[in-house]
Amino acid sequence: MHRKIEGTYLLFNIISYSIVIVAVILCLLPFEMLVSGSFTSESAITQHGYGIIPTEFSLQAYKVLFKYPQDIIRAYGVSIFITVIGTAIGLFVTSMTAYVLNRKDFLYRNKLAFFFYFTTLFNGGILSLYIFFVKYLHLKNSLLSLILPLLINVFYLIVMRTFISSIPDSISESAKIDGAGDFTIFLKLILPLTKPGLATIGLFYALEYWNDWYNAMLFITDIKLYPLQYLLFSTLQSSEAISRISSIASVASLDVPTLSLKLAMAVIATGPIILVYPYVQKYFVKGLTVGAIKG
């Protein structure tokens, strides 16, 4: 009997480890191929195609990219700017609103919650947003058009509200008796107590801003305002961007390694995320396990 259980456990382990290992490989392989392709010489790619290991090692793509890296540095600047500003404001506004929605003594809280929730049920679509932003607010080619659309996310608001609801009401009540105003309670008591929540939501916002290319595609036509992901996207889409890089890097366009250059761009755009994700991942896991189940 006992041996039988051991036997099935072994079988289970074989199945589970092999499936998880396959999943891990599938998750890593595309990244590996991307990096390997970016280090492969152009002629090797056109001859043999992208491989898992570089057939002919070459730094040409990176050399061209870093010769005159203005576009990339500027795009990094735009991405960092919108990520920092957007996350900070978004986090503040979201947590403040979540706090209000959670206050039991706020009479209209359910109505207000529905007021927010309704926007996820029904919306005017990108078309109306586009016309409103461009024609009425004149936000074309303005960084505001990259920040505003992502600034408040109703799903994160709900998650944040779940976090705040786990704080006992007695804390804010006793502070109120001591004469603290609503803002003081929020800033001095609620915010410090919801740090895991803030971290999770903040990461969500940051990730959204960092990975955004969509709003840039809608609202930005000036290459000086391209965020990183959109610069990458447009590089992939058009040879125009490639020839622009080659013209400022003053290389003859024939020498430009178009294929590996695109991959090198992708590596540069992915880099920072890969570097920070091991550190932020544990906050996500923590936040998701608390917030998502109830939310």
Partner 1 sequence: MALPAICLIVLIAYIPMAGIILAFKEYRFNLGVFGSPWNGLDNFKYFFTSGTGLLVTRNTILYNLMNLITSQLFAIMIAIFINEMRGRYFKKVSQSIIFLPFFISWTIVGVFVYNIFNYETGTLNTILKALNMDPVNLYSMPYVWVIIICFFNSWKWVGYTSVIYIASIVSIDNECFEAAEIDGANIFQKIFYITIPSIMPTIFIMFLLNLGRILRGDFQMFYQIIGNNGQLFDATDVIDTFVFRSLITSGDIAMPAAATFYQSVLCFVTIMVVNGIIKRTRPENALF
Using CB under 8 A as the binding rule, the residues of this chain from 262 to 291 that contact partner 1 are 262-263, 266, 269-270, 273-274, 277-278, 281, 284-285, 288-289
Cα-Cα end-to-end distance for the chain: 44
Distance (Å) of CA 40 to CA 44, 69, 91, 222, 260: 7, 20, 42, 32, 7
Binding residue for partner 1, selected from 14, 20, 53, 73, defined by CB under 8 A: 20
Q: Is 180 in the site for partner 1 (CB under 8 A)?
A: no
The pattern of x and - marking residues 44 through 73 that bind partner 1 according to CB under 8 A reads -xx-xxxxx---------------------
Q: CB of 228 within 8 A of CB of 221?
A: no
Q: Is 192 in the site for partner 1 (CB under 8 A)?
A: no
Compare residues 87 and 94 and give the one whose CB is closer to partner 1.
Answer: 94
Q: Is 16 in the site for partner 1 (CB under 8 A)?
A: yes
**Contact region with partner 1 (CB under 8 A), list: 66-74, 164-172, 226-234, 241-249:** 226-234
Whole-number minimum distance, CB 244 to partner 1, in Å? 18
Q: Where are the alpha helices (DSSP H) in the chain?
A: 2-38, 42-48, 60-67, 70-102, 109-121, 125-131, 144-147, 154-165, 169-177, 182-184, 191-193, 195-211, 214-219, 228-237, 239-248, 258-294
Whole-number minimum distance, CB 114 to partner 1, in Å? 6
Ordered DSSP codes for 270-284: HHHHHHHHHHHHHHH
**Contact region with partner 1 (CB under 8 A), list: 165-173, 193-201, 209-217, 249-257:** 209-217
Compare residues 52 and 248 and give the one whose CB is closer to partner 1.
Answer: 52
Whole-number minimum distance, CB 110 to partner 1, in Å? 8
Nearest in space to 209 (alpha carbons), one of 154, 125, 148: 148
Q: Is 183 in the site for partner 1 (CB under 8 A)?
A: yes
Distance of alpha carbon 120 from alpha carbon 115, whole angstroms:
10
Question: In angstroms, what is the C-alpha Rg of the chain?
Answer: 25
Ordered DSSP codes for 155-193: HHHHHHHHHHHTS-HHHHHHHHHTT--HHHIIIIIIHHH
Whole-number minimum distance, CB 113 to partner 1, in Å? 7
Compare residues 69 and 272 and give the one whose CB is closer to partner 1.
Answer: 272
Name the region of 250 (left: φ>0; alpha: ψ -120 to 50; beta: rest): left
Compare residues 136 and 250 and give the one whose CB is closer to partner 1.
Answer: 136
Binding residue for partner 1, selected from 39, 210, 219, 226, defined by CB under 8 A: 210
Q: Is 97 in the site for partner 1 (CB under 8 A)?
A: yes
Name the region of 153 (left: φ>0; alpha: ψ -120 to 50; beta: rest): beta
Q: Is 166 in the site for partner 1 (CB under 8 A)?
A: no
Q: Is 76 in the site for partner 1 (CB under 8 A)?
A: no
The site for partner 1, by CB under 8 A, has a size of 94
